[in-house]
Each structure stands twice: as C-alpha cells, then as structure tokens.
C-alpha cells in the first residue's frame, strides 16, 4: 500500500482550516476522499469568485 504524501496532506489541512476555520482534529477526522471533496468545493468557489 502506498501512503498519502504528507506534503499534500498538510496542503489540504491548511486549505480547509484557512477557509472554514475548522480545528485540526476535525479536519483529520475526515477521510481522504471527503477532505479532497471539501478542497475541490472551496477551489471551485474561489474560481467562480475570481472570474466575476
């Protein structure tokens, strides 16, 4: 089994914490796919906001 790169994990946690102000423990309780989904959702919001 290949582990998840720690650099990417830190990026996801920082991104979610910055936008949602969620604590570290709450973010780490999310499974990998759910964390990635939140990152994607925030990125889409930012993209739409920046385009307008």
Domain boundaries, the chain: 7-42
Run means of pLDDT, 10 residues per run, the chain, 52 residues: 80 95 96 95 94 88
Neighbour tally for 17: CB within 10 Å? 14
Give the 3-state secondary structure of residue 12.
helix
Q: What is the DSSP string of 18-48?
A: HHH---HHHHHTS-HHHHHHHHHHHHHHHHH
Residue 2 is predicted with a pLDDT of 66
Residue 40 is predicted with a pLDDT of 96
pTM of the full structure: 0.79
Residue 4 is predicted with a pLDDT of 77
């Amino acid at each position: 089994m290949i582990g998840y790169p720690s650099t990417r994990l830190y990026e996801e946690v920082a991104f979610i914490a910055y936008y949602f102000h969620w604590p570290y423990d709450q973010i780490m309780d999310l499974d990998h796919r759910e964390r990635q989904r939140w990152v994607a959702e925030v990125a889409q919001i930012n993209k739409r906001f920046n385009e307008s």
